[in-house]
Amino acid sequence: MQEINQIPFLLKLAEAESGKVRAHVLEELAAFCPHLDEAIAVLGVDLTPEQAFIVHTLNQNHQKQTYQERWKNLLNCPDESMMLESALDCISQIQSALFPYKSVGWMLDRLALDYRKYHKRPDPSELARFLFRTKGIRGIDEDYYNPLHSNINYALQEKKGLPITLAAIYMLVGFRLGLKIEGFNLPGHFLAQSCVRGGVLIFDCFREGMVMDLPQLASQSHVPLMQLYHLSRNPPSARTMIYRILRNLVTACFKHGQMEPVQLYSSLMKITNRHGEKDLIDSKSFHYPAGSLVKHSLFGYRGLVVDVDEQFEGDASHLAKLDPAPAKDQPWYHILVDGSNFTTYAAESQLCHDDSDREISHPLVTLFFKMGKNGHYIRNDEPWFWNQ
């Protein structure tokens, strides 16, 4: 590494040179990070606007690389709860300039200890009441796209946050008490679930820990009960939750014009994705892309394509009901059936275009689509959650 007294000379070169020389000089300056600002202050260097921009960019790149390496390490954690907690703690540290950082683990430990003072045994329903009523942790009711609402540190200290942030608090405190509490990845919302006396209970942490069973949730959410059972049997992994939190942060920062955090969180999303999070399939190459209006050539119903599988991925019992059974090695489509709350799964050979242009009536349309020009349905990035 160069001596720090070379920094003023290197800064002048970085400002003046271009091409390969500049790249080499920037590499030399980057070697001083994360202590570059400190060294400049010690030397008493007055930076020109161009030099200040160079230093800022070098610091940002170093910080980004540091967090990326840390992110890769935490995603290798074999324990799901510790992985989730480590990721949320890391996000809190990234945002420490916006809100003072405290150890997330320490605050969660304190909540678990406080619960034990007043309750003889761990219980999911009692814990929900304790956190979201006694302690007063609430869902935010304004400024929904504030990036801090995805910060568990902020949520614990200010007692407010997004649904997934509050669900994470509930899950991680429960983990400390020996309770198995899992996420419930409802489209457009995020809940928690736990098995209580042999039955599954759903907890809406955003609404003061409101408790319901799956039939009650089906009635409130208009999501078919069969699909809710599928969601319950397939809770989101820690990586899926982390990915969704990062996506919330990218959206929030973009809406606030904070492009440097957008770049950082987007890079962490890519790393998380490489560790197992499945991207929404690009359906544009299929004959009926997501958003297409189709009609079943045999049964006559019309519907809206919400997702596509490259080949049959359903249960064998589904094919057994069809006579003749379509070939497996062709695209299969998940379809929201018009005028119902059902979804169906059909082979490409069974479908044709629906040219009626009549609006689709189905409770899940608004969860997975927005309306574009000329009445076209535009698929959002909410992952489809049900396989046959």
pLDDT tens digits, one per residue of 141-173: 888 889 999 999 999 999 999 999 999 999 999
Average pLDDT, stretch 271-292? 67
| Residue-level pLDDT at 49 | 80
CA distance 193 to 46: 57
Band the pLDDT of 12: cuts 50, 70, 90: confident
CA distance 202 to 183: 9
Band the pLDDT of 322: cuts 50, 70, 90: confident
In eight-state DSSP terms, residue 56 is: H
Greater model confidence, 93 or 255: 93
Please give the mean pLDDT across all residues of the chain: 86
**Among residues of the chain, what percentage have pLDDT more than 90?**
48
b/e sequence 217-248, b meaning 16+ C-beta within 10 Å: bbeebebbeebbeebbeebbbbbbbbbbbbbb
Band the pLDDT of 206: cuts 50, 70, 90: very high
Nearest CA among 212, 159, 157, 156 for reference residue 189: 212
| Residue-level pLDDT at 333 | 93
CA distance 207 to 332: 38
**Residue 278 pLDDT more than 60?**
no
CA distance 90 to 151: 10
| Residue-level pLDDT at 274 | 62
Structure tokens given for 67? 């967090």
3-state secondary structure of 268: helix
Annotate 16-28 with DSSP letters as a single string.
H--HHHHHHHHHH
**Residue 382 pLDDT more than 80?**
no
Q: Where are the alpha helices (DSSP H) in 195-334?
A: 214-221, 225-233, 238-255, 259-274, 316-320
The third-level CATH classification (topology) of the domain covering 283-379 is: SH3 type barrels. (2.30.30)
101 forms beta bridges with: none
| Residue-level pLDDT at 16 | 67
Band the pLDDT of 17: cuts 50, 70, 90: low
pLDDT tens digits, one per residue of 41-52: 777 777 778 777
Structure tokens given for 244? 């969704």
pLDDT tens digits, one per residue of 222-277: 888 888 888 899 899 999 999 999 989 988 888 888 888 888 998 899 899 764 54
CA distance 188 to 221: 10
- Amino acid sitting at position 89: D
| Residue-level pLDDT at 183 | 97
CA distance 28 to 134: 55
**Residue 303 pLDDT more than 70?**
yes
**Among residues of the chain, what percentage have pLDDT more than 70?**
93
Band the pLDDT of 101: cuts 50, 70, 90: very high
160 forms beta bridges with: 138
Band the pLDDT of 323: cuts 50, 70, 90: confident
Map 150-171 to HEC letters: HCHHHHHHHCEECHHHHHHHHH
- Amino acid sitting at position 140: I
Structure tokens given for 128? 């929900």
Domain segments of the chain: what residues?
Answer: 4-74, 80-274, 283-379
CA distance 277 to 106: 29
**pTM of the complete model:** 0.69
- Amino acid sitting at position 310: E
